[in-house]
């Protein structure tokens, strides 16, 4: 049975249908239905209920969550990691609200044996809002399957991926006897390796947490960071998979410039950089849509030439002491822009040559 046929026969879970209706109304997209259905790769009841409650509490969650589900339905594995991270955050936030409510009731009520003090209540709330511990397994464990079955999956999946097919959408994941899932990951060029999906999702969630902190630090106050990811050409970004969003001024070195500064001083950094046409953070004016090949080549070139690495700790430096690093950052940005232009010119020329054949 083909993938489309499987989608057509997908049965939505009760909680999946509730969430889907809140997000899309009666017309739930077909590529989203497997995620909201019943099966090992479907969304859990806890996650679905967390998202439904988040929508009830904040209607602005609906649009970005819907876009994330569509992207996951199109086979974007990063989107699955973001969904797992978002579900965890909503659960923690909800737990914090519930603990806070209980603590307030105990604090405001008559003092009796067993009631919580204000200090204890705050401690419980803080504990409920801490990040859950990372998975116990630090390394991937081989699939609990016969080796010949693993080799057969790798051979078939690699051939499919090399022909242009996509993980999860066209190439099913490998599930072992313990219920753990694996996929083939591109290790560079045409080399693939088996990846433990649970660990990958955990790493993606941790990476997203770090990126969120850096985005909050570098983005100007008042800027809607969601606009950075609101691609005007949704089809090109998420379906044809030909372009990727690129931070012209990378988040990591940008965050180094602002670490340890006051709000006023961070605004001074923004003013200095914007005077020469550089905008930081998750700002739509800091976004370039680059072809995947160009994006990869650019980051490789920056790393090889040690440009915009953000490897200097400035957290204890004053604004005056940071000025030389700001000047270096501006010069590095000029080099990065020049290289981006050169790579784009090469890409356009090659595209024209391919069209003539």
Task: Look at residues 108, 128, 148 and tell me which one is the last residue of a structural domain.
Answer: 128
Predicted pLDDT at 38: 79
303 and 347 part of one domain = yes
152 and 69 part of one domain = no
Domain, as residue range, for 289: 244-356
Predicted pLDDT at 63: 76
H-state helical runs in the chain: 3-8, 14-24, 45-57, 62-73, 77-108, 118-128, 147-162, 197-218, 226-229, 234-238, 251-258, 263-274, 292-304, 319-356
Predicted pLDDT at 125: 46
Q: Is the pTM of this model over 0.75?
A: no
Residue 234 inside a domain? The answer is no
Asked whether 158 and 183 are in contact (CB, 8 A), the reply is no
Distances (CA, A) of 294 to 162, 217, 308, 330, 343: 20, 27, 17, 22, 6
250 and 350 part of one domain = yes
Predicted pLDDT at 325: 94
Q: Domains in the chain: how many in total?
A: 3
45 and 85 part of one domain = yes
Residue 65 inside a domain? The answer is yes
Mean pLDDT (10-residue bins), the chain, 357 residues:
46 85 86 81 78 75 78 72 65 49 46 46 47 50 85 86 77 84 77 81 83 92 86 53 85 94 93 93 91 91 92 92 93 95 91 67
121 and 11 part of one domain = yes
Residue 223 inside a domain? The answer is no
DSSP result, 152-192: HHHHHHHHHHHTT--BTTTBPPEE-TTS-EEEEEEEETTEE
Task: Look at residues 168, 183, 218 and tell me which one is the last residue of a structural domain.
Answer: 218
139 and 81 part of one domain = no
117 and 141 part of one domain = no
Predicted pLDDT at 131: 45
């Amino acid at each position: 049975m083909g993938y489309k046929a499987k989608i057509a026969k997908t049965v939505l879970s009760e909680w999946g249908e509730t969430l889907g209706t809140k997000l899309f109304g009666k017309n739930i997209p077909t590529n989203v239905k497997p995620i909201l259905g019943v099966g090992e790769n479907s969304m859990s009841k806890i996650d679905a209920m967390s998202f439904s409650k988040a929508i009830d509490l904040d209607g602005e969650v609906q649009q970005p969550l819907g876009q994330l589900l569509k992207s996951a339905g199109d086979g974007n594995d990063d989107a699955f990691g973001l969904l797992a991270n978002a579900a965890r955050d909503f659960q923690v936030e909800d737990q914090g609200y519930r603990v806070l409510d209980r603590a307030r009731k105990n604090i405001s009520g008559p003092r009796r044996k067993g009631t919580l003090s204000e200090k204890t209540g705050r401690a419980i709330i803080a504990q409920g809002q801490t990040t859950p511990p990372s998975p116990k397994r630090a390394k991937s464990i081989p699939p609990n399957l016969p080796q010949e079955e693993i080799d057969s999956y790798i051979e078939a999946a690699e051939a499919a991926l090399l022909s242009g097919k996509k993980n999860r959408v066209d190439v099913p994941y490998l599930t072992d006897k313990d219920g753990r899932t694996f996929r083939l990951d591109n290790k560079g060029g045409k080399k693939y390796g088996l990846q433990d999906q649970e660990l990958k999702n955990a790493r993606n969630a941790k990476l997203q947490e770090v990126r969120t902190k850096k985005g909050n630090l570098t983005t100007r106050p008042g800027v809607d960071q969601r606009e950075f990811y609101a691609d005007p050409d949704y089809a090109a970004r998420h379906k044809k998979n030909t372009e990727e969003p690129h931070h012209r001024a990378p988040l990591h070195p940008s965050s180094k410039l602002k670490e340890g500064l006051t709000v006023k001083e961070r605004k001074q950094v923004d003013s200095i950089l914007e005077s020469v046409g550089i905008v930081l953070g998750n700002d739509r004016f800091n976004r370039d849509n680059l072809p995947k090949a160009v994006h990869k080549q650019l980051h490789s070139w920056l790393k090889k030439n040690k440009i915009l690495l953000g490897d200097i700790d400035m957290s204890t430096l004053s604004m005056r002491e940071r000025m030389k690093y700001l000047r270096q950052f501006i010069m590095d940005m000029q080099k990065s822009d020049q290289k981006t232009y050169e790579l784009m010119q090469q890409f356009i020329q090659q595209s024209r040559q391919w069209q003539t054949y």
